[in-house]
Amino acid sequence: MSTVLTLAALTLREASRRRVLLALGAMTAVLLTLSAWGFSRLADEAVTTGEARLTASIVLNLVMFGYSLIAALGTAFLAGPTLAGETESGLALSVLARPIRRAQFLAGKWLGLVAFGSGFVALAGLAQCAVVYATVGYWPPDPLTGVALLAAQTTVLLTLAVLLSTVISPMASGVVAVGLFCTTWVAGVVGGLGTAVGNEAVARVGSVSRMLLPTDGLWRGAMHAFQDPTSIVEISGGAEAEAFPFLSVAPLTLGYLAWAVVWVAMVWGVAAMSFGRKDL
Amino acid sequence: MTAAELAAPAVASAGASSPAVWCSALRKRYGKQQAVADVSLEVARGAVVGLLGPNGAGKTSVIKMLLGLVRPDAGEVLLLGRPASDPSARTRVGYLPELFRYQPWLSAAEVLTLHVRLSGADVSTQEQRECLDLVGLSERTGDRVGGFSKGMQQRLGLAVALVARPELVVLDEPTSALDPLGRVDVRDIVLSLKQRGVAVLLNSHLIGEVERVCDQVVILDRGRVAASGSLVELLGQRELRLHLTHVSADAEARLARTGPVQREGEWFTVSLSSADGESAVPDLVRDLAVLDTQVHAVEPARITLEERLLGILRDGADARAQTVTEPSR
């Protein structure tokens, strides 16, 4: 276990020393400032309390999507260089010649990336909730669950990026992971539109994509935790809410959460097997 | 039980009495290319063994298979008495890769601390500092590796290989980026390891370097062991250069009885085998004098490792050419 923790700490130190943390911190500060200004303007425009809460919910989810995108892109593009990049450059040779297993090496890198991505979304997400509360007086119903699901979404994507980086080049692994993430999100929006207009075939696109890559499903669960419960009723009694990409009609089921855990375990297992068989 | 198992040293419980490295019938294929075909070798405790061969002979592949970095298609490896498939076999192994690269965002001291932690060894900060001092990096301990020259990174790699009190050190081209002074430093370090009873497997293109420090040499060619043995065994063949005049047919026959003869004008080069005793040269000179040959000069000569290596590789190439042409006859 100490080997895994040593390598996880090394991955975090790399993110820090390569100024990834600094860049993310600066970007988050800018986003928080802009959103604080935007929310205060929205508060001025709202006519009723219900309108204000609905607007706050939608815009909060939109900003949170921005954070989840930053975390997803960041970890996906970090996973490639830290794993595939190190094996390509020869940096991993002297480390893996030590008395450690390949799976420990992979677990250390993965854990470091999970801590990095989760830490970022937790801090940025809670800071954003505080900004919204300070500007429009809205506090999400379950911010901790929301932040935890955003962290889970980041974990899913970086696990995929780790798997890809064991088989393809560092750059390609980041591009493919982010491409799949965006495709699943678009498929989720398309599926929502299908549900809203009653087209089962189109609605199934979203359901299938959420099973294949659980990022969009977790994201919808997070949105539900951030939005005002009454906001769905505001939109035609909830029937057309499915068509809104930044509102979620239902909370996450435990079954889906379990599937996400199984999905991560399976993909991690395949990554460990692939990395274990790799000639360096 | 396989032949390899029969031949394997009884090391499971032997510990320190087992060889530092033992491998048998290693094979590795990359696609259509057979990189390593049936390589067996042994490095005794405290011995310095040189791995020689042309580019693409499979030297680095063999080293990586020994260290578990490349999966062999077949064969067995024991490191310090333990199967190489068990990572703990590498606890007391230091390695300087041919492609040496270290975390550019860490300082030299931090790289060493990382490797000490990963090895599980209890090495004090003072000892780590001494290790950096040994490779000439005492003044750069706090500097980021990203700012190091290639030569300095290779020196750091050497410190990484030495820091966790190894019983076996594997050096893959350890002087490729070093200046002549650095090469001498590496030679001194290898000799001091030998004195301390640390086994060294040294892959180097610098044959002179290998000849100076190695007890034994393994020559690889096209993924196979072309020759192996101690330097005395490999270089046992001595030569004698003689400047002769008035050489009769009987004198030429006498020279030929001693060994293969090459003639360049009045100079004759006779190859002596290691089996020839101390009296071989005086006996030859006396017999030539008896046969009325005028002996102007007698110079002993020794075949260098480089000449021996080239000879072995050329013989291998000739044998392959013969194998290719024979079926068409």
Provide the percentage of residues in chain A whose pLDDT is more than 90. Answer: 34
Give pLDDT, residue B9: 46
Confidence class for position B275, pLDDT limits 50, 70, 90: low
CA distances in angstroms from A249 to A195, A226, A233, B298, listed in the order given: 11, 12, 10, 102
Q: Among partner residues A3, A97, A101, which is closest to B69 by beta-carbon distance?
A: A97
Interface of A with B (CB under 8 A): 2-3, 6, 10, 13-14, 17-18, 89-91, 93-101, 277, 279-280
Asked if B64 and A98 come within 8 Å (Cβ–Cβ), the reply is no
Residue in B69, B93, B119 closest to A93 by CB: B69
Q: How far apart are CA A115 and CA B318, in angstroms?
A: 60
Considering chain B, tell me which residue range(s) the CATH 3.40.50.300 domain(s) occupy.
3-233
Q: B237-302 architecture in CATH? A: 2-Layer Sandwich (3.30)
Which whole number is the average pLDDT over B147-154? 94
Q: B114 CB near a chain A CB, below 8 Å? A: yes
Largest CA distance in chain A: 66
> Given a cut of 90, is residue A52 above it in pLDDT?
no
Note the pLDDT tens digit of each residue in B235-250. 766 788 899 999 999 9
Q: Which residues of chain B make contact with A98, given a CB cutoff of 8 A?
A: 90, 115, 118-119
Closest to B107 (Cα-Cα) out of B148, B147, B143: B143
Query: What is the rounded average pLDDT of the residues B183-197?
Result: 91
CATH 3.30.70.980 intervals, chain B = 237-302
Residue B328 has pLDDT above 60, yes or no: no
Q: CA of A82: which chain B residue's CA is closest?
A: B103
- B185 Cβ neighbours under 8 A, 6+ residues apart: B135, B136, B155, B178
Decide: residue B44, CB within 10 A, 0-12 exposed, 13-18 middle, 19+ buried.
Answer: middle
Test mutation, A2, A86, A94, A100, chain B, max B CBs within 10 A: A94
Tell me which chain B residues have a C-beta less than 8 angstroms from the C-beta of A96: 68-69
Over 60: is that where the pLDDT of B319 sits? yes
pLDDT on residue A276: 92
Yes or no, beta carbons of B119 and A99 under 8 Å apart: yes
Task: Please report how many Cα atoms fall inside a 13 Å half-sphere around the Cα of residue B40, on the Cβ side.
Answer: 11
Contact between B69 and A96 using a beta-carbon 8 Å cutoff: yes
Q: Does domain B3-233 have CATH number 3.40.190.10?
A: no
Q: What are B79-116's pLDDT values in tens digits?
A: 999 999 899 999 999 999 999 999 999 999 999 999 99
* B14 has a pLDDT exceeding 50: no
The per-residue pLDDT of chain A, averaged, comes to: 86
pLDDT for position B7: 41
Distance (Å) from the C-alpha of residue A221 to the closest C-alpha of chain B? 38
Residue A273 is predicted with a pLDDT of: 94
Q: Contact A277/B102, CB-based, under 8 Å?
A: no
A251 φ, ψ to 5°? -75, 170
Tell me which chain A residue has its CA closest to the CA of residue B84: A99
Average pLDDT over residues B275-284: 78
Question: Is residue B16 over pLDDT 80?
Answer: no
Mean pLDDT across the stretch A32-42?
A: 86
Closest-CA residue in chain A for B100? A90
Confidence of residue A258 (pLDDT cuts 50, 70, 90): very high
Pick A75 or B123 by higher pLDDT.
B123
| A46: exposed, middle or buried (Cβ count in 10 Å: 0-12, 13-18, 19+) | middle
Whole-number percent of chain B with pLDDT over 90: 59
Q: What is the mean pLDDT of residues B163-183?
A: 92
Task: Give chain B positions within 8 Å (CB) of A10.
Answer: 103, 114
Does B66 lie at the interface with A, CB-CB under 8 angstroms? no
Average pLDDT on A164-174 reads 83
- For A60-103, write each residue's pLDDT tens digit: 888 888 888 888 888 777 887 778 888 888 899 999 999 999 99
Q: Which of A190, A218, A210 is nearest to A202 (CA)?
A: A190
Residues B170 and B252: their CA atoms lie apart, in Å, by 49
Q: From the CB of residue A95, how many other CB atoms can be counted at a distance below 10 Å?
A: 19
At residue A10, does pLDDT exceed 50? Answer: yes
Are A99 and B103 an interchain contact pair (Cβ–Cβ within 8 Å)? Answer: no
Residues of chain A with pLDDT > 70: what percent? 94
Give which of A254, A16, A10, A255 is closest to A145, Cα–Cα: A254
- Percent of chain B residues past pLDDT 70, beyond the cut: 91
Q: Which of A8-22, A168-182, B4-18, B258-272 has the lowest mean pLDDT?
A: B4-18
Residue A236: which pLDDT band, with cuts at 50, 70 and 90?
A: low
Round the average pLDDT of chain B to a whole number and report it.
87
Cβ-defined contact of B88 to A99 (cutoff 8 Å): yes
Dihedral Cα B239, B241, B245, B249, nearest 10 deg: 10
Pair B236, B273: CB distance under 8 Å: yes
Q: Do B97 and A90 touch (CB under 8 A)?
A: yes
Is a pLDDT exceeding 60 seen at residue B173? yes
d(CA B21, CA B44) in angstroms, rounded, equals 7
pLDDT value, residue A191: 84
Q: Please state which of the ranges A3-17, B50-64, B312-326 shows the lowest mean pLDDT.
A: B312-326
| Calpha distance A162→A188 (Å, rounded) | 24
Residue B1: is its pLDDT beyond 50?
no
Chain A CB within 8 Å of residue B148 CB: no
Size of interface A-B (CB pairs under 8 A): 74
Q: How confident is the model at residue A229 (pLDDT cuts 50, 70, 90)?
A: confident
> Domain locations in chain A?
2-276
